[in-house]
Structure 1
Amino acid sequence: MQIKKRKDKWNDLFELALYVTAAVCFVYFWVKDIPAKMFEAGLIIAVLLIIRIVVKLTKTTLFAALRFSVLLFIFVSMFLANEFGFYKVIPYLDKIEHLFSGLILCFVGLLIYMKASRGEKTAAPSAQVAIWFCLFFSTAMAGVWEIYEFTTDGLFGLHSQNGSLVDTMTDIICGTIGAVATSIYLAFKAKHRKMPLIDVQS
């Protein structure tokens, strides 16, 4: 229990740091008169608040690994990549983000499975089924995201996919690799603990 509380404490501090950093960025770019960067800083705060609102409305408890993954993804994708322009500094940062998204979506799939299983009284939830569901859910969402990018590129003249099938497929492959790696981790975790169901609270 103490370990769980420590993890939550670190996540709380991490989230607070993101709020503070976003606020500092907003003021800095306001002084520098860069509206686009101000908007990005405000968007980061909005995303953090929306996540909290959704979690509260759905009465969902984000287990420590998922919450940390989401916060870290926000830091990498919204702060480093966009706010600080690290796309030009770190090679293939976009691909790293897609790898990481596979991990996050696996945990989201696990959370969905756990919540759905609580309403089932006919059979006990299965760790194997949970892991397969996580893998397929994450892989499917990688494809859905590329469909979204393809659609917005076509409708609004954006260049999310760089007009390249190679870029699209590489993103899906990266997301799938992240999903597979996370599924293997969950499988080892379930086997090591010899539990019929993964303890998502750890």
Structure 2
Amino acid sequence: MKKWRFYNYLLAFILLSMLLSLTLTVVAVSTVPVTGRGKQLFLLLEIILGVVILLLPQWIARLGHFELPEILYVLFLLFIYGSVYLGTVYQFYGRVPYWDKILHVGSAMLLGCLGYALIGVFFRGKQLTQLSPLFMSIFAFTFGLSVGVFWEFYEFTFDGLLGLDMQRFMVHGVLLQGRAALMDTMGDLIADALGTFAVAALGYIGIRRDVHWLDKFMFRKIPLKK
């Protein structure tokens, strides 16, 4: 029997939490009038998508016959739990101050770690030892921050196309002016920069001491059984 790793226990906890909320939401949908079901049905869809997203990395890993780096998957699970479950189901975005910024820092750290993982994908063995720790850290930083920038592009685009307010440029339908209109976007980018810089700085110190510090970010192939 394969030994469970920490992320298996974390995944089980999050799945149980989501399935409980899924059950309660199904009950709520069946008890409210048809005209008032829109919000509950949308919440139901978000929970289902959250469960699929949680399981997707493991499905991909099994299809590709590789092992997920524990630190990456743990950060991924915590981010989905914080954004989909706590943020959406329990409305932490509106109830907890700076919840969105906290998640931006967390997602940026995840992306910085993914940057180091990509280095491990493209460079192996002696090639890896010949890379400068500074180069690897700059790559991790710029990769994480670039994805954060493209996320802001996405929010800006769909705010314009669909009339959404993901970039928080209005309050109660009233457009913000001047610096107030920039605060959410710039705050998100600053949070992204802080998260990726923390990972890049930690990585630089770790790699300078021992290049095998990167091993914790490696995607490892699982030998096929004959």
Q: For this structure pair, what is the TM-score category when the shorter chain's length is used for normalisation? A: 0.7 to 0.9
Q: Does 1:10 align with 2:6?
A: yes
How far the C-alpha of 1:62 sits from its partner, in A, is: 2.5
The corresponding residue for 1:180 is 197
Asked if the contact 1:117/1:125 (under 8 Å) is kept, the reply is no
Asked if the contact 1:63/1:201 (under 8 Å) is kept, the reply is yes
How far the C-alpha of 1:59 sits from its partner, in A, is: 4.4
Partner AA of 2:140 in structure 1: C
1:126-168 deviations in Å (ceiling 9; x for gaps): 2332222101101111111100111111111111002232211
Matches within 5 A, 1:154-193: 154-163=160-169, 164-191=181-208
State the aligned residue count: 194
> 145-154 vs 61-70, which deviates more?
61-70
Q: Which has the higher contact order (CA 8 A, sep 6+)?
A: 2
The corresponding residue for 1:139 is 145
Output the CA distance in 1 between the equivalents of 2:74 and 2:51.
16
Matches within 5 A, 1:6-155: 9-33=5-29, 34-118=40-124, 124-126=129-131, 127-155=133-161
Instruction: Report percent identity of matched pairs.
Output: 26
Output the CA distance in 2 between the equivalents of 1:50 and 1:70.
11
How far the C-alpha of 1:111 sits from its partner, in A, is: 0.9
Asked if the contact 2:116/2:214 (under 8 Å) is kept, the reply is no
Gaps of 5+ in 2: 30-39, 170-180, 218-226
Asked if the contact 2:58/2:68 (under 8 Å) is kept, the reply is no
1:74-108 deviations in Å (ceiling 9; x for gaps): 11111111011112221010111111111000011
Asked if the contact 1:26/1:42 (under 8 Å) is kept, the reply is yes
Output the CA distance in 1 between the equivalents of 2:197 and 2:8.
28
Output the CA distance in 2 between the equivalents of 1:151 and 1:55.
32
SS at match of 1:199: helix
How far the C-alpha of 1:121 sits from its partner, in A, is: 6.8
How far the C-alpha of 1:123 sits from its partner, in A, is: 6.6
CA RMSD in angstroms comes to 2.2
Query: Higher Cα Rg: structure 1 or 2?
Result: 2
Pick closer, same or farther for the CA change 1:123–1:183 going to 2, 3 Å: closer
TM-score, with length taken from structure 1: 0.86
TM-score, with length taken from structure 2: 0.78
